Structure formats: structure tokens, C-alpha cells
Amino acid sequence: MMKLDRYDLKILDILSRDGRITKSKLAEAINLSVKPLLGAGKRLEKAGVIEGYTARINADVLVPRNPVWVQIELKQHNADSFARFEALVMQTPEVTECVAVGAGWITWSSLKPAPSTAISA
């Protein structure tokens, strides 16, 4: 395991929030000159601590998510089945709304599918 000093930790903290920061601004932010900063950065890259620099893509701008209504019918209609179903729905962030129709026999759920499902390379 690689030992990290306080500069390494500061570098990682700042880069994790802003991978596009210039070397000079990063050096200034951690009170280090550019040359030692470059050495630390290369060392962290060589050790595999820094694997690369990425951009966060806002997929909603590329592929708007439209709600989808899904009809779900439970095999068993008892308190335990409803409780398990409700717990699953509550754990699923894509489910934005859930409505029981017909005394709980049929449930309609409104989903907003993750945008990554609509994007293919």
C-alpha cells in the first residue's frame, strides 16, 4: 500500500472535485511550487492512485428521460407480499410514483428510466 503525505491527500481531494484545474492553480491551492507538484502527480499516476481524468456528462441533456407507466400484478395478495413489494419500490430511485388500483390487486408504477439505458456506444 502506498503511503500518502498531506500534499498527496490535498492533490487527490482537489482533483476529485475539479479534474480540469491547471497545474499552477493546483500548486497554489496546496502551497507547493509547480515542479514538486508535477512530481507528486506523476508518482500518483504511476502508482495507479490516479487512473485518469474524466468529465461528468449530463445525460439528461443528451437523452431526456420520459416517465413510463408499468402495470404490475403480484402473484400473492397478502400483507407480506405487499410489504416486500413496498420495500422494493422504496429502494428503487427510478420509481417516482406508485398507485394501487382495485383493492391492491394491480399496482401501477411510474418510472423514470436511467438515461444510461438509452445511450449506446
Q: What is the pLDDT of residue 72?
A: 82
Max CA distance (Å), the chain: 71
Beta strands in 24-101 (DSSP E): 68-73, 95-101
* Cα within 13 Å of Cα(31), Cβ side: 1
Q: Are 37 and 50 in contact (CB under 8 A)?
A: no
Q: What is the pLDDT of residue 30?
A: 96
Q: What is the pLDDT of residue 119?
A: 46
pLDDT in 10s for each residue of the chain, 121 residues: 889 999 999 999 999 999 999 999 999 999 999 999 999 999 999 999 999 988 888 877 777 777 778 888 888 888 898 889 889 888 988 787 888 777 655 566 666 666 554 444 4
